[in-house]
Amino acid sequence: MKPLQPIMLAGTGSDVGKSILATALCRIFLQDGYRPAPFKAQNMALNSFVTPDGLELGRAQAVQAEAAGIPCEADMNPLLLKPQNDHSCQVVLLGRPVGNRDACDYWQSEGRERLSEEVHRAFDRLARRYNPVVLEGAGSITELNLRETDLVNMSMARYADARVILVADIDRGGVFASAYGSVMLQDEEDRKRIKGIIVNKFRGDLRLFDRGRQMLEEICGIPVLGVVPFLKEVHIDEEDSMDLKPCGQAATSPLSGGTLQVAVVRLPYISNFTDFNALERDGRLSLRYTDRAEDVAAADVIILPGTKSTIADLHWLHRTGLAGAIRQARRAGKTLLGICGGYQMMGMEVLDPQHVESDTERMAGLGFLPVTTVMTGEKRTRRVTGRLLAGSADCTLEGYEIHAGETRPCEADGMRPLLRLNTGETDGYYLDERCMGTYVHGILDNAAFVDFLLRPFAGRVGERQEAPDYRTYKQQQYDLLAAHVRRHLDMERLYEILTHD
């Protein structure tokens, strides 16, 4: 099979659909007999994942690797930025944190050469083993003020000798201006690298854009390879929490129509909210993400999710009154589950003597679990397998850990673990059937654990209807996504672009 040139999906802006189209192309190339691999030189996201060897990368590249039928690895996203607050982020290089950086300092030229070399070496390692490499840009390719320090957009396309396909979002409006400006603001060399345009997120009758497609080709001098309709029915893990309502806005509508009300607290620095994708499709539940006390009061199950900034989000819970609403819910007999940072918050206090997260050295927890968390500079990232110890349940569960900090019982002999891991270690705390916490992300992807969590409500909800397990379900979604994109993309022309110099 003839080798394909690397392809880069670059955007006219953020959230235009680069990640989802890269996922689709990874699946299409796999279906067509190639061995693709994803690559994003630099990603900024709070949704991350763990490779089989315990390294961290952006969730989008893990999803794309899954669509490509290969294990994810840190080389697929060699540089991951995880925002700590509005002004700083944790820098994860090749799967390991290398420190926190002020945002302004990070974008200066000093030290960029080393990062560029690491990113290029990661791409080279992938390119030697996979064909083609599907690159994804970040944000807009026309951020002129960042051009000199760019690692992920056109500078990466030049290094990889990639064929660039520009993705433009018609749903937000201004598609002609955004596409034309993105092309014309490139220098001559980079402009020649842009081989096609994909108009994404179209709503309505595609025939209405026939003339628009011709006009776009005429003004940009580049073929439009496809107009892809807005896609609602296919469910792919999101890269980050942009689709969730920002804190302070109205809660999202329930995501399913079940009778049991589940509220996921919408923390300002919520991370790994893909933990709840399986719950969203559970017909027994009505799940919503919220930061309103009235939604917490109305819920049967309240979940405190993971967070990149435990202390900041814990302070936010206290300041907004949500901490009191959650305590009242507990007194009313509601079920509480904390995951990772949410588990840390459920303890008596969170200590940060080394100022790992902030200048606050001690913050009172919510007081539900008799444990204390001490923040440490070392981050634990690993895949885990374990058995549920709580109650009378006994089942094997899988997931992954991404956290800094150690959580210990307040009394030496007081630990009541939720899980026993295959390593012999224990995880989490089980107070009773309505109050528990765990460090394991992905625990809710295990149907047996969800059944255990809902056991107190057996009289109100029916039995779980048999359905494909979550892994099978995700594979089905990748095939549906690929079929949708294939229908609306000129794949023959795309293959011509990727096989000709």
DSSP H/E element including 246: none
For 247, counting Cβ atoms within 10 Å of its Cβ (0-12 exposed, 13-18 middle, 19+ buried), the class is middle
The one catalytic residue among 26, 220, 403, 441: 441
441 annotated active-site:
yes
Which of 114, 106, 18 lies closest to 60 in space, CA to CA?
18
Tokens of 429: 């705390």
DSSP 8-state assignment for residue 249: S
Q: Where are the alpha helices (DSSP H) in 69-160?
A: 103-106, 112-127, 154-160
Q: Please tell me the number of Cα atoms within 13 Å of 2 on its side-chain side.
A: 9
Is the distance from CB of 422 to CB of 440 less than 8 angstroms?
A: no
Maximum Cα–Cα distance across the chain: 74
Beta strands in 20-142 (DSSP E): 37-39, 42-44, 48-50, 56-58, 79-83, 88-93, 96-102, 133-136
Residue 324: how many other CB atoms lie within 10 Å: 14
C-alpha to C-alpha distance for 41 and 303, rounded to whole angstroms: 33
What type of residue sits at position 321?
G
List 26, 315, 340, 403, catalytic entry: 340
Closest CA to 152 of 87, 218, 82, 78: 78
Q: Would residue 410 show up in a list of annotated catalytic residues for this protein?
A: no
Query: Given the DSSP bridges, would you call strands 419-421 and 371-388 parallel, antiparallel or unpaired?
Result: antiparallel
For residue 408, give the 3-state DSSP assignment: strand
Q: Distance between CA atoms of 53 and 378, rounded to whole angstroms?
A: 17
| Residue 293 to residue 435: CA distance in whole angstroms | 19
Q: Which residues are catalytic?
A: 340, 441
